[in-house]
A and B are shown apart, each in its own frame.
Chain A
Amino acid sequence: MENGVITAGLEKYFNPETTEEVKVTEGTHAASYAVGLARVKVISAYPITPQTSIVEKLSEMCASGEIDAEFIKVESEHSAMACVIGSESTGARSFTATSSQGLALMHEELHWAAGARLPVVMVNVNRALGAPWNIWADQSDSLAQRDTGWVQLYAESNQEVLDMVLQAYRLAEEIMLPVMVNMDAFFLSHTTEPVAIPKQHLVDQFLPGYNPKFKMDIKDPRAFGGLATPDRYMELRYNIQKSMEGALDLIPKIADEYDAIIKRHHGGLVEEYLTEDAEYLLVTSGTITGTSRIVVDAFRNKGIKVGLLKMRVFRPFPVKVVQESAGRAKKIAVIDRNISFGQSGIFFNELKSALYNLETRPLINGYVAGLGGRDVTPSTIEKVINHLIAAEKGEDLIWMELNYESDEI
């Protein structure tokens, strides 16, 4: 299909009443269109593969007047984040995007954005970190930023990227914390998919202008971020935690509101696929989820009760929902495209700890697969499920499809 008005037969996917047009577009461009729709005022970013097309697209959109924003082309990612910290402090909705090494370079500023309670929204394209150089999909970059005070969301499709960025601004500005929207390198960033661009007036209805309670204002001079002594600092941290916890209620609420106005829903904290009666539960995030759906269907066709839990939110970690959904299963397999060296896959570790307080705990296995962009195919996932079904006790770390030191599975 081509860009343009909704092609006959696709109304099922793209609501003609809420859709301006359907574009066949890559994930990076879907993110860029969302930035325009969100009426962002200040953009600052630094190019890195595979995020670069966001920088290029937004430059183009700013130059053509398609979006009315100031784009500051900084000399590093550290500065990109510091720049949007500055612009957000004045109450200007701001955006940045990065990936991998760039995100790592930003680390100090990620803490600053959250600590300063600035609702920056950033798209991160999940890419492996060097050494050695590798530009392909891997979640180790964002997960290494786990404790910075950023909300972390993970998208499965380009449509979800666009919708997630818009919802991210709503969330960020309600809880006054920054939000990171993650998409897999290449599998989303450079793969074209049809994406419905919602009508601007509906987006405006969903996401009104930003007007913070406190900002840099010459009429109301205040100092922001000055020394907080031990008798004050801890409460500020407590407040961040409370806001994070608040996000657990807000994320599904905002997703529902989006659905009410734009008529599209990708799930709240998680998306459950055939989990209700599932004995074996697969837990995934990002693009591995799409592949897993097909494999789950195949097992169901054979009468084996496999379900799928897609994690849309990593921070705050949705402990309750995971307990309810995963707690029903007999056995759980978590697939991680990331690794915490010396421990295990990171989603696995979080899930396992979320289930600890259940009275009857399911068996849980952690599978690490697809690091550095290696394909995670239906056959990989099939192996995971078969291994899980046969498992007699839980295993924290099972490496999938290593080319050497090959595991027995």
Chain B
Amino acid sequence: MFDLSAHKTISLIQGQAEDMESEWTIEAQWPENGGSWSDTENEAGMDSDLLQAMAEEDEEINIFNEETFGMEPLPSTPPPNTDPKPLSPSTSPPSPPRQRPQYLPQYPARAAQWQRIRGPRWRGGLGRGQMFDDPAVMRIVEGRPSLMSVDSAIVDCGHAVYRNTSLDNVRAKTSISFGCRWRGFMFPPNRPCPSTPRPLTPKIMQLRFGADSPRPSPFYSPSTNRVYGDPVTQLHPQHKRLLSQKQHLKSQGSDPYCNLMTTKEKEWIIRLQMIQLQMNFRLASHLSSQRRTSQKLMHTSSGLSVFHIEGSLGQVAVSTCYSPRRAISAVNAELKDTRQQRLEILSKIEKLFIVLLEVEETERMKTPVSSEAEDAMLLEKIQRKVEHIYSELQHHDSLDSGTEFLPVLSVSKGKKLLARLLPFLKNDSAIKILHIIASNLPTVMSKDTEETLPVLYLPLRNVIGGLTFSQLIKVLRDLTSSESLSTLECLSLACQNKFGLTLLYALLSHGEKLLSSGVPLEPSIGDFETWTDIIFQVAGQLSQCSLVEPLLLPSNLLTLFCRYLDKRTVHQLKSNLE
């Protein structure tokens, strides 16, 4: 590929040079021995005419090469005019070498001309040599060329051509020799220049450019007085052809440089890309299949061989061999249930809340203007929904009846729900809830981490306000009698909690109200004893332990205590309460 591209690039340069309207064009001399090229692509699939033309060109190329480079290594002797191959005028056009002697004197003139042309044109530099150390720029800007102008190989090749004749200024030569090398510029082998390439033998060419590259004749430097003469006639036959082609095409208006890359070359690249694709595809699929199998292995193995030792914290599985932490942090089955339960309750509460909102909405619709029938209808609606909520909240998996609303009460939203529901409930239902709260007060209080219990206070107080004396006593009994705790402990716990204390106060206050109201109480047996008992116990508790600030301090409490206790204790209580 390198060879073909270079070949074409050379023709491009020629065209380019012409485009730029310079006085000279470079003379690219790629040593080619057409016959030794392993260039099968061009030969296949061409008709005989083209083959004939190619063959002729090859002939010309051979001649040209021999003429140009010759077989002797001596640069100093002028090139022999006798060609090893006799030229038959019929087969090929007059070979350039014959014309060469004529051009020999012309070259220096041309060089001088070139230099002359360069001189005046570029004398009028802008003096910004530092900025324009780029000859491509300079060419446009007409700045002064500098020795450091190595940006364009074209310029320097021209330089080199000129300077080569004078055999001086090794340094300039060094910098450009590298760039120009591939174009086949000849360097005198006796140059003491470190970067001058060794004469490239065919073997070296093979190593450098690959097995399929052309094997040129050795790079021998032509003599210094060899002609790099008139470029047009001195052209390599292939270049001549391309040039004429281009000129012809240009007149036609189409892109004269198109199809420099032949179809064969394109197909070659496509073939390579396909191979690359295949490789990538295979690699990717291989990797993904590997991943899949490893995943499968992981999944199947973990399902079967989870090993749980009785009483241990964690469980052992294949996966835990690779990540031990997971074994320890294995979730306990019971805990999972609790979390699950909590979520269930929460979702239930959410749903019931919506119903509650509907209830409240319906309640608001009951205006004084509405008729009785409407009222009744709305009321009925409300009741239905309220009952629904109540039954839902009551529903509990466990059999013991005393813990019905507790799960709901453990969730703060549940408490809010109950608080808003209580006003709508029938008395029995409301009292039931009160009972539940009273009997489970320690549990309820301990679970109230967010301190939402106070929302329940007002509705409960309203409920308490409707209690009869017996009912009140019952509640008080519930409050003070718990399974695990003694009365004192219950009371002390209650006193430590805002809600508990306030609830207690509310109960006592109501009792006092009842007692002092003069309404016939209809007490049951033992009510009064319980009552007085509780009073004394409460008084004892209140005077001893530290009290929290209650939500509301009923005014008739002191009166209550006065009735039962001595003055001293009352005073103490008073000070404590405040």
Partners in one complex: no
What is the interface of chain A, defined by CB distance below 8 A to chain B? none
What is the interface of chain B, defined by CB distance below 8 A to chain A? none
